[in-house]
Amino acid sequence: MCLSVCLYVSVCVCVCVCLSVCLSVCLCVCLSVCVCVAEFVFFFFTVLFASLRGLRAAEVVTEVCFCNSFF
């Protein structure tokens, strides 16, 4: 059961795609939700883990684009 206090949270997920040698396009989708305080801790760590994975994916895309610029 939710507590009486809820937090309004906005989460954005970005996906980057390499189109050419070093041209990448990023598409971001944002989702806004109201989460209860009791669920916020679990929600925060879930979003944090997803964000870290997303950053690693973005770094990989950047490295691939950067390497392609030499060829």
What is the residue range of 63's domain?
22-68
Q: Is residue 60 part of a domain?
A: yes
- Is 50 within the bounds of a domain? yes
**37, 6 Cβ separation under 8 angstroms:** yes
For 12, phi then psi, to 5°, come to: -115, 135
Q: Does residue 12 lie in a domain region?
A: no
- The answer to whether residue 52 sits within a structural domain is yes
Q: Is residue 39 part of a domain?
A: yes
CA distance 69 to 64: 9
| CB 20, CB 56: distance < 8 Å | no
The tally of domains found in the chain comes to 1
pTM of the model: 0.31
pLDDT tens digits along 21-69: 667 777 777 777 665 655 555 556 666 666 666 555 555 555 555 445 4
- ∠24-13-40 over CA atoms, to 5°? 160
